[in-house]
Chains A and B, each alone.
Chain A
Amino acid sequence: MDAKEFIKNVFYIAGMQISDERVQSLGAPDGLYPLLTQLAAGLHQVDTEQYEPLEKPDFFKERSEK
């Protein structure tokens, strides 16, 4: 599946209308999709095995627990 087909499928599953022109633009070499793919690759290289997902930090709680 190429990038444009993938983008189209994502929007189809999400129940969103998107024109071919907009899909083309998102998936173009200078579009946002290739940039996000590149950033995601970097993000997944971080070893986070020991960490749980953090929704948001609570520095106040940490302070009061000290």
Chain B
Amino acid sequence: MSPIRDLDLVDMVRLLQKGEVSSEEIVKSCLDAVELYNDKLNAFISIDPLKLLKRAQEIDKLPQTERGLLSGIPVAIKDLIDVSGEVTTAGSSFFKNKPSARTDALIVKKLKEAGAIPFGKTNLHEFAWGGTSANPHYGICYNPWNRNYVAGGSSGGSAISVLMRMAPAALGTDTLGSIRHPSSFCGTVGLKPTYGLLPTEGIFPLAYTLDHVGPMARTVEDVEYVLKAMLDENTRVLVENNYEIGKKVLKERSRRLEGICVGVLAPHVPKDICHEAVWNGYENVLKIIEDEGAEVVEIQFPEFESAYAAGLFLTLAQASQIHRNRMVERPEGFGDDVRVLLEAGYLVSAVDYVQAQKVRAKLIDTAKRIMKKTDCWVIPTTPNPAIAVGETDLTVALFTAPFCTLGFPSIALPSGFTNERLPVSVQIIGAPLDEYRILDIATIVSQSIAFPKTVPENL
């Protein structure tokens, strides 16, 4: 019989609610996976099994009437996000010995109110400033599909934790693509919500005006469930009213996407910069969408490429300001790659910074206008599959960063494998506050993609 941790999150919730499984059993099963895999993959920076088991036992004693949507469900937390009583290292040597957080980040507070158990602190790219999660202080986040490759960043530990059943869901953060890169490299699902939909208070910033927080899991349904549990009542109503679930996607029909118009940013996705498997996965997803009855149209987005540059410049400058004193006092405390990026931030002039802000304003206007003609857009998540350990890929954020600049929601989901069994991924992007529409479309797409439901072998 397969372990409880193999169940998807929504199935765990169903069994918990029926009393057929306890939170303690789920937590124990996930802790077994941590024991089995963490030494090989470096997914967690810290985890306290006894505390987690105690919390699970407390939740098991609660009557059903006092339980929330996520009662008894473990959710791994990226170690950039404050959890009361635990140290937030941000993946950095600077914070290794700092005192524990005294309060929860707002998003953790919301998870706890829904009954979730914050389940350890996951490893990340140092200060979230990079796309590999090859962390010089807490170990390289290895890709579970092949340990010669990285898990991607910066939320690498969160992606590993959900893929390897160490937790059914996790929180990640995304400033230029940090939820979606590791989701792409590990073959998991990650949602970067609309800018501002989920609160970032209590999360160590990479760039104040671009940081997002969002759920990561193995399935689209699980990501949707965790999102719903984290929304407060007013926001939930706002988002649900924006798009009534199932209103446009015809779940009962054989062609479930009839009447949907999907935009492809064709001129902005050069085939020659994409790995063959990434391109094939992208085309396969477009075919699935067409077979389900949607109309697929090419869209022209003037100056789309500047959305990447604007996001990069804003992040470079803000991150260098945030770390200014640390760079003056102990620059050698940073890993080499992060130190170079923090130095580069000084080369962004004030003139460039203001122009980046103005470009952001213009492109949001343009994007809204174009999106009105379509229901969503589809684009590969990363041009290439996972990066080999020790290497870098400057193109990693080309297709993800623009949607942080725009603040539009984007979900990354697996679209296939390379011949070397590394996952590839596509993004579905929606209008602001249109999370439920892209989740509905992503659910239908994911049902047509054959992706293994088991953990990677040969670890």
Contact = CB atoms under 8 A, between A and B. Distances in A.
Chain A partners chain B: yes
Interface of A: 7, 10-11, 14-18, 22, 25-26, 32-33, 35-36, 39-40, 42-44, 46, 48, 50-60, 62-63
A30 to B, nearest CB: 10
Interface residues of B, number: 44
Given A56-B195, A59-B194, A60-B196, A51 B362 contact: yes
Contact of B407 (A33, A35, A36, A59): A59
Residue among A14, A35, A56 with most chain B CB within 10 A: A56
Residue among A36, A43, A56 with most chain B CB within 10 A: A43
Contact of B433 (A16, A17, A51, A59): A59
Interface of B: 194-196, 208-210, 238, 242, 303, 305-306, 309-310, 312-313, 316, 327-328, 331, 340-341, 343-344, 346-349, 352, 354-362, 364-365, 394, 406-407, 432-433
B407 A42 contact: no
Contact of A18 (B303, B343, B433): B343
B313 A52 contact: no
Given A14-B346, A54-B357, A59-B195, 13 more contacts: A7-B347, A11-B343, A18-B343, A22-B343, A26-B344, A32-B347, A33-B344, A42-B309, A43-B310, A48-B362, A51-B361, A57-B364, A57-B407
A52 B361 contact: yes
Contacts of A43: 306, 309-310, 313, 352, 355-356, 359
A54 B358 contact: yes
30 contacts: A17-B328, A18-B343, A22-B343, A25-B340, A26-B340, A32-B343, A32-B344, A36-B316, A40-B309, A42-B306, A43-B309, A43-B359, A46-B359, A46-B362, A48-B359, A48-B361, A50-B362, A51-B358, A53-B354, A54-B357, A55-B209, A56-B196, A56-B407, A57-B195, A57-B432, A58-B196, A59-B407, A59-B433, A63-B238, A63-B242
Contacts of B357: 53-55
Nearest to A60: B196
B129 to A, nearest CB: 13
A20 to B, nearest CB: 13
A63 B433 contact: yes
A7 B346 CA distance: 9
A62 B305 CA distance: 25
Contacts of A14: 346
Given A43-B356, A44-B355, A56-B209, A26 B343 contact: yes
B410 to A, nearest CB: 14
A40 B313 contact: yes
Given A57-B407, A63-B238, A63-B433, A16 B327 contact: yes
Contacts of A7: 347
Contacts of A44: 352, 355
A26 to B, nearest CB: 6
Contacts of A18: 343
Contacts of A63: 238, 242, 433
A44 B359 CA distance: 9
A65 to B, nearest CB: 13
B260 to A, nearest CB: 22
A17 B328 CA distance: 7
A51 B210 CA distance: 19
